[in-house]
Amino acid sequence: MKFYNKEILYGLYNDETELLRAVKKAGRDHLDVWDVFTPFPVHGLDPILGLEESRLHQAGFIYGMTGTLTAFLFMTWAFVKDWPIIFGNKPYWAVPAFIPVTFELTVLFAAIGMTVTFYTICGMGPGVKNPTLDDRITDDKFCVAFDVSGASSTEVESLKGFFKNTGAAEVNTKRI
Amino acid sequence: MSTIVSPIREPLILGNKTYHQITEDICRPTEAAPSKEWIIGFIVAVSGLGLYFFSVLWTVWNGIGSWNLNRTIGWGWDITNFVWWVGIGHAGTLISAILLLFRQKWRTGVNRAAEAMTIFAVICAGQFPIIHMGRVWMAIFIFPYPNTRGPLWPNFNSPLFWDVFAISTYFTVSLLFWYTGLVPDFATVRDRATGWRRKMYSNLAFGWTGSAKHWQRWESLSLVLAGISTPLVLSVHTIVSFDFATSVIPGWHTTIFPPYFVAGAIFSGFAMVLTLMLVVRKILHLEDYITIQHVESMNKVILLTGSIVGVAYLTELFISWYSGYIYEQFAFYNRVFGVYWWSYFGMMLCNVVSPQLFWSKKLRTDLWVTFFMSIFINIGMWFERFVIIATTLARDYLPSSWSYYSPTWVEIGLFVGSLGLFFTCFLIFTRVAPVVAIAEVKAILKSMGNQYVKNNTVADHALHHEEEEEHAAHGGHGHH
């Protein structure tokens, strides 16, 4: 299991509306949120957390183009240069007939490339065990977490105050 | 969050669910001991799988001669089954990809099971062309790899070769899409489990934590996979139809085949989704998540695609007459009134006439009617492929080589056995994975839960109002 060696102070909220209010308030109070964990994608969270849009789709475009070129250039090479054969009186370089396979490989490369990239950049994969803060985060709890490794007790107290003011149902610390 | 839902819209989640209740309801089938119905179903399915193995072994051992294919009828039940199974797979991708792009929220109740159906149906489909080769160990030659014969490449101009790429890409992309959707739900099951189940689901969940950035990427990935799956699914059955349409056989050589095959595929796939979901919702007690609303929406798709298929059948008949080409005219006359007239009328009755009952709201919201109709359509769509393949091949250009074809027990065993393979996979799936997408259902609870639908517009208004006040307090420079 991965170990961040961080002391995490986290609060659990019962509802995504409370979570959004809390994260907004954290932004206004200039608190440095370590991460937010939710059981499902909460819309409207990314901009207030200051997350930039994912560039995964741009990577997908590049993977797709790689597939297009691989398929088309390979078929061209195989049928024009390596071993030219006439099929059904068609020219060697029968472009329309190459379209289906070119399309399929575009999709295949884009899908595999993006999925592998997704798991890699998220630090996930078969057999990977990332530390989690609370088992109920994948059920019905919405979690805001602060990194308090090396923080003074006044800082921790003020963060606890923040959780209290924003209506967190539970506040805990965990070393992960 | 700020989706405005008209109060007229019917709820998609019933029973005043909380987030926790959703987790409980959907995870329960993976945690509880299997029910008696499941065990009986599983025994039947595994028996079918046994029959499948036996029939495959028989075919491989004795050769294709153990089938009743003959001089002109080179494709029989095998290719019929292939096209039928591929077609069934299409509904899963349609539900998960196209309905995601169209932002149809009813998708969330059925997408997981429908995608699973797609994967298992494509597994069944992919077997038939390989078994049809007879010498199954030669299957490697369909891939372009640097071989010692030149290297000699496969024919890139052949639709049969395009099919290899279409089907294998379709299977891979569907699997990636399905599994990525499953990962957060496996994490939910993991976090409830103890002992060996916790270990197993930890492995399946790939280390999912639910971090905001991960969700953002997950949504981005799902959206792009949906975007590329949409043309993919249309291309797959188009290419399957090219197997026929690019040939020079009268009755096959038609430009209408690609759209007609795609519509038929969606039609048959939705029928199979309904067959499965009506049983699953009952046995796993998921009536609150797969509601009459879902069933009605799917029946509307069936009505639409069934009508498209009907128009295509009639267009084919008209065009063959209008072409003035005697071979084409004969091919269609033979299809309707020839030796296989019964399969043509079976097809027309099941695919064109019977779905028209769904114009009635009463009938399309009746579960028994829907269930029988879905079986009917499955049969009708099998007949469609049989009609296209067997009737056409049974009447060659030379009357002296006209023949008749009926399957041997081996061919019947392969078809019935493939159903066993499919249901074995599906039944295991219902025990291991959450059959409804937990996270996605939770995400629509506040807009589609029965306790929220009626007053949703009011609640949204209040929230919006609050945001505006906040903006005013910050001189309107806040971000939206």
**Token code pair at residue B341:** 């007239």
- Cβ-based contacts of A48 with chain B (< 8 Å): 479
**Between chains, do B156 and A44 touch, taking CB under 8 Å as contact?**
no
- Cβ-based contacts of B234 with chain A (< 8 Å): none
* Interval B362-399: pLDDT, tens: 999 999 999 999 999 999 999 999 999 999 999 988 88
In angstroms, rounded to a whole number, what is the distance separating the alpha carbons of residues B274 and B149? 49
Confidence (pLDDT) at B476? 41
- CA-nearest of B244, B251, B393, B404 to B327 is B251
Handedness of CA B280, B285, B290, B295 (dihedral sign): positive
Half-sphere exposure of B46 (CA within 13 A, CB side): 8
**Between chains, do B1 and A17 touch, taking CB under 8 Å as contact?**
yes
Question: Which residue in this structure is represented by tokens 């997908």?
Answer: A60
**Residue B65 to residues B60, B70, B132, B133, B283: CA-CA distances in angstroms?**
10, 9, 11, 12, 43
Question: Which residue in this structure is represented by tokens 């250009």?
Answer: B397
* Interval B202-212: pLDDT, tens: 999 999 999 99
* Interval B184-226: pLDDT, tens: 999 999 999 999 999 999 999 999 999 999 999 999 999 999 9
> Is the pLDDT at B474 greater than 60, yes or no?
no
Over pLDDT 70: what percentage of chain A?
99
In angstroms, rounded to a whole number, what is the distance separating the alpha carbons of residues B125 and B475? 62
Any A CB within 8 A of B147 CB:
no
Confidence (pLDDT) at B477? 44
* Interval B27-50: pLDDT, tens: 999 998 999 999 999 999 999 999
Confidence (pLDDT) at B8? 61
Cα three-residue angle B448-B453-B458, rounded to 5 degrees:
125
- Cβ-based contacts of A112 with chain B (< 8 Å): 172, 176
| 3-class SS letters over B396-462 | CCCHHHCCCCCCCHHHHHHHHHHHHHHHHHHHHHHHHCCCCCHHHHHHHHHHHEHHHHCCHHHHHHH
Provide the residue type at A58 as one letter: Q
In contact, A21 and A166? CB cutoff 8 Å: yes
Residue B172 burial by Cβ neighbours in a 10 Å radius (0-12, 13-18, 19+): middle
> Is the pLDDT at A131 greater than 80, yes or no?
yes
> Is the pLDDT at B479 greater than 50, yes or no?
no
In contact, A107 and A64? CB cutoff 8 Å: yes
φ, ψ for residue A12, nearest 5 deg: -110, 130
Provide the residue type at B412 as one letter: I
**Token code pair at residue B20:** 């926790």
Confidence (pLDDT) at B455? 53
CB atoms within 10 A of CB B35: 13
* Interval A22-73: pLDDT, tens: 999 999 999 999 999 999 999 989 999 988 899 999 999 999 999 999 999 9
pTM score, whole prediction = 0.91
CB atoms within 10 A of CB B263: 21
φ, ψ for residue A65, nearest 5 deg: -65, -35
**Token code pair at residue B47:** 């028996």
Confidence (pLDDT) at B454? 67
pLDDT band at B456 (very low <50, low <70, confident <90, very high): very low
Query: Please, what is the average pLDDT of chain B?
Result: 89
Higher pLDDT pick, B87 / A4: B87
Provide the residue type at B404 as one letter: Y
**Token code pair at residue B45:** 């399915």
> Is the pLDDT at B457 greater than 60, yes or no?
no
Question: Helices (H) and strands (E) in chain A — how many of each?
Answer: 5, 4
Chosen from A138, A144, A174 to mutate, greatest number of chain B CBs within 10 A? A138
**Token code pair at residue A74:** 């390979």
* Interval B84-124: pLDDT, tens: 999 999 888 888 888 888 888 888 889 999 999 999 999 99
The residues with which A147 forms a beta bridge, in sequence order, are A8
In angstroms, rounded to a whole number, what is the distance separating the alpha carbons of residues B345 and B315? 16
The residues with which B56 forms a beta bridge, in sequence order, are none
In angstroms, rounded to a whole number, what is the distance separating the alpha carbons of residues B239 and B258? 7
Confidence (pLDDT) at B96? 85
Any A CB within 8 A of B198 CB:
no
φ, ψ for residue A145, nearest 5 deg: -125, 140
Chain A nearest C-alpha distance from B451 (Å) = 15
Over pLDDT 70: what percentage of chain B?
93
Confidence (pLDDT) at B414? 96
**Residue B330 to residues B203, B242, B250, B337: CA-CA distances in angstroms?**
60, 22, 9, 10
pLDDT band at A90 (very low <50, low <70, confident <90, very high): confident
Residue A10 burial by Cβ neighbours in a 10 Å radius (0-12, 13-18, 19+): buried
* Interval B418-444: pLDDT, tens: 999 999 999 999 999 999 999 999 999
Pairing state between β A35-37 and A7-13 = unpaired
**Between chains, do B209 and A132 touch, taking CB under 8 Å as contact?**
yes
Chain B nearest C-alpha distance from A9 (Å) = 15
- CA-nearest of B189, B29, B195, B25 to A39 is B189
Higher pLDDT pick, A173 / B464: A173
> Is the pLDDT at A87 greater than 90, yes or no?
no
Mean pLDDT for the stretch of residues B139-166: 90
**Between chains, do B225 and A115 touch, taking CB under 8 Å as contact?**
yes
Cα three-residue angle B435-B380-B253, rounded to 5 degrees:
110
Confidence (pLDDT) at B475? 44
**Residue B407 to residues B73, B116, B292, B414: CA-CA distances in angstroms?**
11, 30, 40, 11
In contact, B273 and B193? CB cutoff 8 Å: no
